Amino acid sequence: MDCWRRHFQLETHPTKKRRYATAADSPPQLHLPQPNQEMAASVCRVGSTVGQALAKTRSPVLLSLRRGHASVSYAQSLLGAPETRLTTLDNGLRVASEETGHATCTVGLWIGAGSRYESEKNNGAGFFLEHMAFKGTKKHPQTALEQQVESMGAHLSAYTSREHTAYYMKTLAKDLPKAVELLSEVVQSCSLNEAEIEQQRGVVLRELEEVEGNLQEVCLDLLHATAFQGTPLGHSVLGPSNNARNLSRQDLVDYISSHYKAPRMVLSAAGGVNHEELVGLARSHFSGVSFEYDGDAVPVLSPCRFTGSEIRMRDDALPLAHIAVAVEGASAASPDIVPLMVANSIIGSYDLTYGGGKHLSSRLARLAVEENLCHSFQAFHSSYCDTGLLGIYFVADKHQIEDMMHWSQNAWMNLCTTVTESDVARGKNALKASLVGQLNGTTPICDDIGRHVLNYGRRIPLAEWDARIDAVTPRMVRDVCSKYLYDKCPAVAAVGPVEQLPDYNRMRSAMYWLRF
């Protein structure tokens, strides 16, 4: 999967990682429906903020309300959502915040650097740095840093993905200045002690072993490796074990000096934050971040070509097969991204634990129940700055692989040819619920702001997403899906008892229909 997140929670065993825990995280790149309670919490959050604003202004809308009636409509909630303010410092670092009036806040630094910016030699350097970040700074040794975080009652976390790295902290709003100070030290003044590097080597190797047991991670990493073979997007976020054994302190220093530049950083905050105060703190702690490259050698991302191909790791000892099939998708800033998100919502997702059975709204989910096709599936779209992966991942019994692959590709062909008005209306409603539902706290909001500013140069408000989703028509879905899906070579990754997986040529021939 695209995103590898770490959560640090203090432990007392001297040989284990010292970690701090954070509350809520979700992978940024998968557009999947969220639970209804999360959506409700997010609507209430937006609605309560609007209600507070109306109360302050003595709006006629508020005065006309009666006890027991709905206070704020969905449309009013979207239009009244707090504004995301954006300021750029002299060195190019951007400061973005959303003030919601909460007693807590999340503040973090989002950096445009990840495994895509690594070479085969230093693949895994970003992930290794993530381990080193909380092992002490030049000003605060590890113990002192832990005491500072604990005394604030804060949660300090980090994650690395293929294009982004983030360090963020959730704390009380009154402790925002201290949080920004600690984050600046973690990013700019990490001690990178040789003894700590050697200690973390073993920790990273153990985590690599643990990830091998997560077959979804393995399958989606293999999908990237075959779909973007020979390009940096094919690298895994964690890197190979050989690199973890051989990365030196100088490799880590070179990685920081090459990629941790002010124009590629966003200081993001959400919750009880004042934007002017945040800008002032950014100037105090981040004005010294360099915006120049050695010898003006500004790194330029090479295009990552997509290759229709397959990779199979057959292991008949495993109980279930994990399979992912994908085509090249749209980039994060492409105008086609919204129709593709609607298309994925039409396909939906399924798990054995779902209620509803044959009454589920997704046609593929109904088939999965009625024909016992799989244990779970999910449609996904991982978008990057210039390309993407549009696909379906499913877990199935070894005797149901062929049928599940057939109906998955059939669902794609239906999107290209026969998608109906009711399908699109249902997909749009599910997508709106997903977008609202995932913003259910200051941490996911802060993450959303940071990634949006890096990807788009601004935060796209919910009202704009809503308008763009409403503009999608069945004809648009058919045209866009035909552009990306119809008669395209897929990339396939399969792990487990996959003997029944069809031959690649047969899967390729299912990417079009012969109709007269």
Residue 514 binned pLDDT confidence (cut-offs 50, 70, 90): confident
Other beta carbons within 10 Å of 62: 16
Residue 191 binned pLDDT confidence (cut-offs 50, 70, 90): confident
**pLDDT exceeds 70 at position 469:** yes
Tokens of 252: 């880590």
Residue 17 binned pLDDT confidence (cut-offs 50, 70, 90): very low
- Of 60-74, 289-303, 423-437, the one with minimum mean pLDDT is 60-74
Q: What pTM, to 2 d.p., does this model score?
A: 0.85
| Higher per-residue pLDDT: 425 or 195 | 425
Residue 306 binned pLDDT confidence (cut-offs 50, 70, 90): very high
Residue 295 binned pLDDT confidence (cut-offs 50, 70, 90): low
Average pLDDT over residues 276-290: 94
- Of 186-195, 296-305, 382-391, the one with minimum mean pLDDT is 296-305
| Higher per-residue pLDDT: 136 or 500 | 500
Q: What is the pLDDT, as a whole number, of residue 445?
A: 95
| Higher per-residue pLDDT: 258 or 226 | 226
Q: What is the pLDDT, as a whole number, of residue 160?
A: 94
Phi and psi (nearest 5°) for 10?
-60, 130
459: which residues sit within 8 A by CB, 6+ positions away? 84, 86, 96, 98, 448, 449, 452, 453
CA distances from 130 to 113, 187, 252, 291, 326 (A): 12, 10, 11, 22, 29
Q: What is the pLDDT, as a whole number, of residue 220?
A: 97
| Higher per-residue pLDDT: 307 or 38 | 307
Average pLDDT over residues 432-438: 91
**pLDDT exceeds 80 at position 388:** yes
| Higher per-residue pLDDT: 49 or 410 | 410
Average pLDDT over residues 397-424: 96
Q: What is the pLDDT, as a whole number, of residue 13?
A: 33
Q: What is the pLDDT, as a whole number, of residue 35?
A: 40
Tokens of 96: 């973005």
Q: What is the pLDDT, as a whole number, of residue 49?
A: 53
171: which residues sit within 8 A by CB, 6+ positions away? 104, 105, 106, 107, 152, 153, 154, 155, 178, 179
Average pLDDT over residues 87-100: 95
pLDDT in tens, 312-358: 999 999 999 999 999 999 999 999 999 999 999 999 999 998 888 78
Tokens of 157: 């976390």
**pLDDT exceeds 50 at position 67:** no
Q: What is the pLDDT, as a whole number, of residue 455?
A: 94
Residue 266 binned pLDDT confidence (cut-offs 50, 70, 90): very high
pLDDT in tens, 99-131: 988 899 999 999 999 999 999 999 999 999 988
Q: What is the pLDDT, as a whole number, of residue 11?
A: 33
Tokens of 409: 């590709």
**pLDDT exceeds 60 at position 50:** no
- Of 29-33, 93-97, 167-171, 456-460, the one with minimum mean pLDDT is 29-33
Q: Containing H/E element for 82? A: none
Average pLDDT over residues 379-400: 96
What is the Cα–Cα distance from 165 to 186, expressed in whole angstroms?
Answer: 13
Q: What is the pLDDT, as a whole number, of residue 300?
A: 75
Q: Tell me the average pLDDT of the chain.
A: 86
Catalytic residues: 130
pLDDT in tens, 481-508: 999 999 999 999 999 999 999 999 999 9
